[in-house]
A and B are shown apart, each in its own frame.
Chain A
């Protein structure tokens, strides 16, 4: 046998040797867990709201027609005078907001994002059972840094994007897009296991659920 020349060849050879020493036992994967679940709208949104509130997120529900009013009220309540938005956020969402709006692009250096009071984005898909919002960096959600550096994240979730459980949600993802799962604001329990909301990510998460969108 000639000695493998690269680490890659060596490791692959080691694995095959190991599998020869201890041959694999055939396995079939039992997938008896719940998949393909659906829930009526009121139950689904009640579940989602319960989970979001449990994680100390602020939750508002409204019809799509009220989006601009609700967003303006939320931003005013949090004192957000200068906000960032992703490149293709629906412009009608911010018609009632009177603060400064900065449209993000890849050239904006990250430290400049630190000067924003908050950020408003859409979302890709949401899991009700765990209260998890998935962002996939689409043009209405923006690059990952945009929803990370500012201290306030206002996220719009449409009813049509809410799924009951994790399997239903994962099935709707585009795997190769950069994806961020958000379940409440940043938190730590590293000191005596006491939960503290807000370490490095946004310390405030506001979710606006559009019940008919």
Chain B
């Protein structure tokens, strides 16, 4: 079993006593929820990619400005955020009854509901459902849940080809790449790169295709149209599932979602259990919060809603797969469970100074950015016994708080990051960094040893690079230098300088200068006090002038 990271709360502590009354914690999720190296290492490499940083900087700043404009025009934006946050909290409080209600309503409307404990089980269910149709191809709507469980890879192993139909997902798929943003997964690619990908990978594409975005979009339209019209099975995610009515909803822009949700005979929707909303009327809140936070539009071009099966309209076979995959593990954390309120708008990515520079790939998970840094370790765990990349994610932040301000459902991401850091530190026991801190405390507590250490640290200059920074310190100090550059020690310590003749001379000169400055300031203040009355009269005069001028203009 993976080590638990949140046993600091009272009920969990009793597990150590072997009390039978304490329920077990859920297992963590599986799939694309863990990178192959820690965040600082991954970010270090990504930061060297100038093209990536230019693309990301432009993109995040553009969406940021749009989001601020359209959220600013709603006088009740904060009231909507409050409602959205409370509705999601209420949802988590009543999850079992709401899921059972959703299941009953979907079934009543002619759909079939499946439950999947983890990614592997969901992949098996979807594969079996596709095989039952006899098709060896599926069309897909962009979906974080199926990305999370690695559905496309699993289907490929079973001989089923999954065609991504969102333009950005298509670019990523054709390039054998990974998405780097929740909303615009190919944000790290520019138009010339995309033209090359299309020319290399789309069969029969015009070899003279240029890099005008409208022409690239037209090439994707032509390529996918035939797939939409002939593929009998579609797989989608869901933005919302309404317990009260059994209605599911997908929010999109291009129309590829409508194609997949409407044209095939069979539709399979994979939805995380946290995506549920209690009432149909709750859409009045989320249809305002999501588009404005996500793309910075008043409303996204297309939203589809469907309830089970409608005879004569759309897929006649509908399957809903309800996915846990670590969500119940996150739910057991009083503070961390807030991350489940996320509606995947990606506003927190776009405002994050760390994401803007490091990009989505550095997080190693399907969920990048600030929300990824709190969601990923909770869904898939932070295994402190090994060098788990997920244990570095809570530190991939400056705690500036911009994400909290941007979040439409008010997830307090900075507090979650701090809590996860705390859990990680508690679980980690003795780390190199803690050893380094202990050593530093011991040295600083004894003046004699401290002086000796300072003298010795002069040797540190030899470790520094040409930029005067040390990026690798020897043990036990490497715990510190693994995540930070350290400035090289100065030639002379401050204490040594102060004790020298040069230091004494400088201090005497400074004291003299200070005394003179004090005398001058006092004299100036006296002069200003005498003329203050005259200044006030001038100010009153200009105000009167202003008034007259205004009246003339009217």
B331 touches A18 (CB 8 A): yes
Q: Which residue of B lies closest to A202 (CB)?
A: B255
B93 touches A24 (CB 8 A): yes
Q: How far is the CA of A176 from the CA of B111 in the complex (A)?
A: 13
A15 touches B306 (CB 8 A): no
A17 touches B25 (CB 8 A): yes
Contacts of A111 on B, CB cut-off 8 Å?
229-230
Q: Is A38 an interface residue when CB atoms closer than 8 A count as contact?
A: no
Given the contacts A15-B95, A175-B245, A201 and B313 also touching, CB distance less than 8 Å:
no
Q: Which residue of B lies closest to A147 (CB)?
A: B258
For the complex formed, measure the closest distance between the CB of B325 and the CB atoms of chain A, giving whole angstroms.
10
Given the contacts A24-B92, A188-B254, A182 and B302 also touching, CB distance less than 8 Å:
yes
Convert A101-132 into 0s and 1s, putting 1 for each residue whose CB lies closer than 8 angstroms to a CB of B.
00000100011001000000000000101111
A33 touches B96 (CB 8 A): no
Q: How far is the CA of A9 from the CA of B497 in the complex (A)?
A: 72
Q: Which residue in A19, A29, A167 is a CB contact (below 8 Å) of B331?
A: A19
A200 touches B298 (CB 8 A): no
Convert A123-145 into 0s and 1s, putting 1 for each residue whose CB lies closer than 8 angstroms to a CB of B.
00001011110000100000111
For the complex formed, measure the closest distance between the CB of B356 and the CB atoms of chain A, giving whole angstroms.
14
A114 touches B225 (CB 8 A): yes
Q: How far is the CA of A166 from the CA of B22 in the complex (A)?
A: 45
Q: Which residue in A29, A32, A137, A200 is a CB contact (below 8 Å) of B254?
A: A200
Q: How far is the CA of A96 from the CA of B263 in the complex (A)?
A: 32
In the complex, chain A residues 1-47 whose Cβ is within 8 Å of any chain B Cβ: 6-8, 10-12, 14-35
From A6, A171, A198, name the one whose CB has the most chain B CB atoms within 10 angstroms. A198
B191 touches A27 (CB 8 A): no
Q: How far is the CA of A130 from the CA of B306 in the complex (A)?
A: 21
Contacts of A31 on B, CB cut-off 8 Å?
79, 83
Contacts of A21 on B, CB cut-off 8 Å?
9, 11-12, 22-23, 25, 332
From B80, B116, B254, B280, name the one whose CB has the most chain A CB atoms within 10 angstroms. B254
B79 touches A30 (CB 8 A): yes
Contacts of A187 on B, CB cut-off 8 Å?
253-254, 301
B281 touches A171 (CB 8 A): yes
In the complex, chain A residues 161-213 whose Cβ is within 8 Å of any chain B Cβ: 166-167, 170-171, 173, 175-194, 196, 198-202
For the complex formed, measure the closest distance between the CB of B362 and the CB atoms of chain A, giving whole angstroms.
20
Contacts of B254 on A, CB cut-off 8 Å?
186-188, 190, 199-201
Given the contacts A22-B334, A114-B225, A129 and B298 also touching, CB distance less than 8 Å:
yes
For the complex formed, measure the closest distance between the CB of A141 and the CB atoms of chain B, giving whole angstroms.
11
Contacts of B217 on A, CB cut-off 8 Å?
188, 191, 196, 198-199
A193 touches B331 (CB 8 A): no
For the complex formed, measure the closest distance between the CB of B525 and the CB atoms of chain A, giving whole angstroms.
52
For the complex formed, measure the closest distance between the CB of A36 and the CB atoms of chain B, giving whole angstroms.
11
For the complex formed, measure the closest distance between the CB of A171 and the CB atoms of chain B, giving whole angstroms.
7
Given the contacts A10-B117, A14-B328, A199-B254, A171 and B284 also touching, CB distance less than 8 Å:
yes
A17 touches B255 (CB 8 A): no
B313 touches A137 (CB 8 A): yes
Q: How far is the CA of A180 from the CA of B230 in the complex (A)?
A: 22
Q: Of B164-172, B422-430, B506-514, B544-552, which stretch is located at the interface?
A: B164-172
Contacts of B300 on A, CB cut-off 8 Å?
183
Listed in ascending order, the chain A residues whose CB lies under 8 Å from chain B are 6-8, 10-12, 14-35, 51, 55, 106, 110-111, 114, 127, 129-132, 137, 143-145, 148-149, 166-167, 170-171, 173, 175-194, 196, 198-202
Listed in ascending order, the chain B residues whose CB lies under 8 Å from chain A are 9, 11-12, 22-26, 55, 58-59, 62-63, 75-76, 79-80, 82-83, 86-87, 89-90, 92-93, 95-96, 99-100, 109, 114-117, 121, 165-168, 171, 184, 186-187, 190-191, 194, 213-214, 216-217, 220-221, 224-225, 228-230, 242, 244-247, 253-256, 258-259, 261-263, 273, 280-281, 283-285, 287-288, 291, 295, 297-308, 310-314, 322, 324, 328-329, 331-334, 337
